Structure 1
Amino acid sequence: MANLPNVREPGARESATRSAAQPRPGTRGGLAGAREKLRAAATTEPGRLWLIGTVVAVLVVAFGAVTAWEVSDRSAAAGDVVSRSQPLSADAASIYRSLADADTAAASGFLAGGQEPLDVRKRYDMDIATASRLLVKAAANTRGSAESAQQIATLNEQLPLYNGLVEQARANNRQGFPVGGAYLRFANQKMSTSLLPAAQKLYEAETGRLYDDYDQADTWPYASTVLGLVALGGLVWVQRRNYLRTNRVFNHGLLAATAASTVVLLWLVVGHAVAASDLSTSREHGQESLKVLNDARISSLQARANENLTLVARGAVLTPEGKDLYEAEFTKEMASLSGRLGAARSLADDDAGKGPVAKAVGDMEEWQKRHTAARRTDDSGDYDGALTQVLGAKGSTGECFDQVDEELDSAIAHEQRQFTTAASDGHGALTGLPLGAALLAVLAAAAAGVGISRRLAEYR
């Protein structure tokens, strides 16, 4: 019998081909199949509409989510400026001022003789109590800053030692022992070399954290702005495409989505711009003025302490050049005070800020004149006369110092109010934006979905 050709049943070749081409479960063929289905869907108008609607909804939701995240971050930083970092910086400056003023009061009380005036003693005790209270507050609120913690530990360790030296100086002074002056000079040395440098570093650390919060709050939200523009561009393109294909001017769902996205973008841009402007005002016309005024007050206090110690030491402590150390320090601090008062006057932006500074300048100049006269009296051998010119109630350098201190305190209070108002306004400009952006973005995505679904319904 002749050999017959190998003939398969009809459809067998096609069935075999399909079986060979069929992807096995768990292989990459499943992913390729999904891509093929997606490509096939994109070739029909309903499929393209579904893809376009999905992309637009994702863009709008991403815009709202990123906006809420970025603005929340900046709002938190602005809130820290108002309620945490600036108050901590101000407290650190107050610690420094309290310590410097305590040193001044200790020297003034010592010069008054064995019977220390009650008001001077109360001033010293109040300064020490204020510094101790603010150190406790700073330790509880610095949030783990290693630099601040180190300086607070130094201050807590050295402050009782300083206070003990002052008490030793008082006890010896009441008994008329000359060694009391040595105790007071040693106390001043500890204040100058340990306490005040630590307080200065604490102030610098907290002020640095304040400026970091300023920078974080002021950074423009670039990611959300770009996403907002892309989302709006996508919505406009979809509506133009819809118009070209259907000749219908409006799609209510897409129009509502565009309006909601526009509101979020405008709210973001305007809100952040207003917040940045208010924060900049609080920094330039509040915090910068406060820093200069605090530095000026510190210079005034240190000048007064050195003026008193000039009479306590009476030439016992000299510079390497052979000059009286405390007189040289007084001259240096008065020059620093003059420069800082000039800077404070240039930074003040209204009469309420400039007025006290101008008066302080006048009293500082009078202080220098009276100090020069007191030094001439002391150099001529009239120690008691010089003491009266420095500590007397009327016509003394102490009177000028008190007036300078009061005027600087008034200027600081004014600038603090300006800072608080401007910084609070800046923080307020961002209030509600994170939640509002998230809600409006969800509504915009839903509206876009409704608009696209209306078009899809026309193909059913």
Structure 2
Amino acid sequence: MPHPQQTTTAVGPSPGRSPGVSPAAGAGPRQPAWREASTRLRKAATTEPGRLRTLGAVLAAALVLFGAVTAWQVTDRATAADAVVDRSQPLSAAAADLYRSLADANTTAARGFLPGGKEPRPVRLRYEKDIGTASELLARAAANTGASSTERARIAALNSQLPVYTGLVEQARANNRQGLPLGGAYLRYASERMEKDLLPTARALYDAETDRLGSDYRSAKSWPWAALALGVLALGALGWAQRRTYLRTNRVFNHGLLAATAASGVVLLWLAVGHGVARAELEDSYEHGARSLQVLNTARISSLQARGAETLAMATRHDVLTAQGKDAYEERYSTNMRDLYGIGSGTDTADARPGSLLDRARSLADGAAGRDPVAKAVAEVKEWQQRHTEARKADDAGDYEGALARVTDEKNSTGEAFDQVDTALRQALDHEQDDFRSAADDGRDALTGLAVGAAVLAVLGATGAVLGIGRRLSEYR
């Protein structure tokens, strides 16, 4: 039986294929898309168009960064200058007025006890005005303390201690009107509370506000080094880019890069000149304004303390003694007069001694309008000291009534001389306050518009750089 013929199909390699190699094996592993894109970008960057695109992006970023940093640093300094004018200096002045009101109230309260049971009405009104002013300043300080917990604690302490002090004064006054010696004890206790609690707290508040003023000044005057450095680098990069373009194309100007250079140069010049002017004006406002105000306020405080000690020495009839057996209030008077004028009790001199508060205030005063009130204060302090010496001589001789008249009378007394000193110092303070405000306003005005202008010009500069590089790229299409 015949078998059908079997046919076999030979399996061999297909045309165009290598034997034993599958299509999948010949293709190799596929790269991730991001790596392929990165490879293409690297290859593109090695070409001139790629280099130009990179250069344009770097220049634009540098100019935008320059504008942003300039705007930020200028805004920071303008904010500090605003704080100097509108917040820290007024608060420092208010803290000094608070201290003055409390010290004067204490002096005036003691003054009311000197004539015995008859308290002059002007003395009573002055005391009430001082207490009212202190209460108003405390309320204002509480509304402007910000986030400082220490300042809030000091203001709270003053608010709680002031009613205690006024209550003690009222008790002293009531006993004094009845001729009871207990009134003097109440007065001494009230004065101790003022000198040990209220005045040190008020002084600490004043010192804190003065420190804040100094900090704001330092922030406002500090040079914007980061912005200046970025501006120099941006101009350098633009100069290098234009030189590169010239060497490769032999074209002197690229309008876009030239516009970017001009915009950056304007910002850098504006920043340097504007901040330089602001710094100079703020420095002037500090040296002939804020610093002078601090010295004058300290001088006024010393005169108030000297007057208070003088008055309390008479009110207590020199019964409060130091550990060495000396009159405590007379010692305090001498200490404050040395600080104020450079002299002590019983010493005569023709002028304020170098280094004294009045000597420093006169050296810091700007012009005759500033020096004349200080000179008036110097002359009145000398007169005050001479009258004080006469009062002490009368008291030491047993003439208490004569000594009292030399301290309390409306004319030819130490009280009259003190009032003249206080008036002269107030005039000097008003003048220096005006000088401070004028110079400080000029300082912060020098920064007006700089932050916005820098940002706008930087964006225009970045746009010019991109357009300038784009003009070169168009030559390759």
TM bracket (short chain): over 0.9
Q: Read off the aligned partner of 1:206 and give its amino acid letter.
A: E
Instruction: From the superposition, tell whether residues 31 and 225 of structure 1 become closer, same or farther in structure 2 (CA, over 3 Å).
Output: farther
1:189 matched to 2:202? The reply is: no
Paired position in structure 1 for 2:135: 132
Written as runs of structure 1 = structure 2, the 5 A alignment for 1:28-43 is 30-43=33-46
Output the CA distance in 2 between the equivalents of 1:443 and 1:64.
10
Q: Read off the aligned partner of 2:312 and give its amino acid letter.
A: L
Q: Read off the aligned partner of 1:23 and give its amino acid letter.
A: Q
Paired position in structure 1 for 2:28: 20
Output the CA distance in 1 between the equivalents of 2:82 and 2:168.
42
Instruction: From the superposition, tell whether residues 5 and 459 of structure 1 become closer, same or farther in structure 2 (CA, over 3 Å).
Output: closer
How far did residue 22 of structure 1 move? 2.6
* Residue number among 108, 111, 130 corresponding to 1:108 in the alignment: 111
Paired position in structure 2 for 1:27: none
Identical amino acids, percent of aligned pairs: 59
Q: Read off the aligned partner of 1:175 and give its amino acid letter.
A: Q
Higher normalized helix content (fraction of residues): 1
Paired position in structure 1 for 2:353: none
Output the CA distance in 2 between the equivalents of 1:367 and 1:95.
25
Written as runs of structure 1 = structure 2, the 5 A alignment for 1:48-447 is 48-338=51-341, 339-447=356-464
What whole-Å deviation, never above 9, does each CA across 1:55-92 have from its counterpart, x for those lacking one? Answer: 10010011001111111111111110110111111111
Instruction: From the superposition, tell whether residues 142 and 11 of structure 1 become closer, same or farther in structure 2 (CA, over 3 Å).
Output: farther
Secondary structure (helix, strand or coil) at the match of 1:113 reads coil
Instruction: From the superposition, tell whether residues 213 and 19 of structure 1 become closer, same or farther in structure 2 (CA, over 3 Å).
Output: farther
How far did residue 206 of structure 1 move? 1.0
Secondary structure (helix, strand or coil) at the match of 2:476 reads coil
What whole-Å deviation, never above 9, does each CA across 1:304-335 have from its counterpart, x for those lacking one? Answer: 11111111111221000001111111111111
How far did residue 38 of structure 1 move? 2.5
Instruction: From the superposition, tell whether residues 13 and 230 of structure 1 become closer, same or farther in structure 2 (CA, over 3 Å).
Output: farther
Q: Read off the aligned partner of 2:358 and give its amino acid letter.
A: L
Instruction: From the superposition, tell whether residues 13 and 140 of structure 1 become closer, same or farther in structure 2 (CA, over 3 Å).
Output: farther
How far did residue 113 of structure 1 move? 3.0
Instruction: From the superposition, tell whether residues 252 and 110 of structure 1 become closer, same or farther in structure 2 (CA, over 3 Å).
Output: same
Output the CA distance in 1 between the equivalents of 2:26 and 2:296.
87
Output the CA distance in 2 between the equivalents of 1:34 and 1:404.
84
Secondary structure (helix, strand or coil) at the match of 2:314 reads helix
Instruction: From the superposition, tell whether residues 19 and 143 of structure 1 become closer, same or farther in structure 2 (CA, over 3 Å).
Output: farther
Q: Read off the aligned partner of 1:446 and give its amino acid letter.
A: T
Q: Read off the aligned partner of 2:236 and give its amino acid letter.
A: G
How far did residue 112 of structure 1 move? 3.0
Output the CA distance in 2 between the equivalents of 1:411 and 1:383.
36
What whole-Å deviation, never above 9, does each CA across 1:190-215 have from its counterpart, x for those lacking one? Answer: 11000000001101111111111111
Paired position in structure 1 for 2:465: 448
How far did residue 151 of structure 1 move? 1.0
Q: Read off the aligned partner of 1:9 and give its amino acid letter.
A: R
Secondary structure (helix, strand or coil) at the match of 1:111 reads coil
Instruction: From the superposition, tell whether residues 13 and 393 of structure 1 become closer, same or farther in structure 2 (CA, over 3 Å).
Output: farther
Q: Read off the aligned partner of 1:321 and give its amino acid letter.
A: Q
Q: Assess if the C-alpha contact under 8 Å between 1:68 and 1:434 holds in 2.
A: yes
Q: Read off the aligned partner of 1:187 and give its amino acid letter.
A: A
1:9 matched to 2:12? The reply is: no
Q: Assess if the C-alpha contact under 8 Å between 2:13 and 2:19 holds in 1.
A: no
Structure 1 residues not aligned, in runs of 5+: 25-29
Q: Assess if the C-alpha contact under 8 Å between 1:169 and 1:182 holds in 2.
A: yes
Q: Read off the aligned partner of 2:395 and give its amino acid letter.
A: D
Q: Assess if the C-alpha contact under 8 Å between 1:300 and 1:337 holds in 2.
A: yes
Instruction: From the superposition, tell whether residues 100 and 9 of structure 1 become closer, same or farther in structure 2 (CA, over 3 Å).
Output: same
TM-score scaled by structure 1? Answer: 0.95
How far did residue 15 of structure 1 move? 7.3
Output the CA distance in 1 between the equivalents of 2:204 and 2:394.
39
CA RMSD of aligned residues (A): 2.1
Q: Read off the aligned partner of 1:282 and give its amino acid letter.
A: S
Instruction: From the superposition, tell whether residues 450 and 10 of structure 1 become closer, same or farther in structure 2 (CA, over 3 Å).
Output: farther
The range that moved more, 108-117 or 62-71, is 108-117
Q: Assess if the C-alpha contact under 8 Å between 1:147 and 1:205 holds in 2.
A: no
Output the CA distance in 1 between the equivalents of 2:391 and 2:61.
79
Q: Assess if the C-alpha contact under 8 Å between 1:148 and 1:206 holds in 2.
A: no
How far did residue 8 of structure 1 move? 6.8
Output the CA distance in 2 between the equivalents of 1:247 and 1:13.
57
Count how many residue pairs are aligned between Structure 1 and Structure 2. Answer: 455
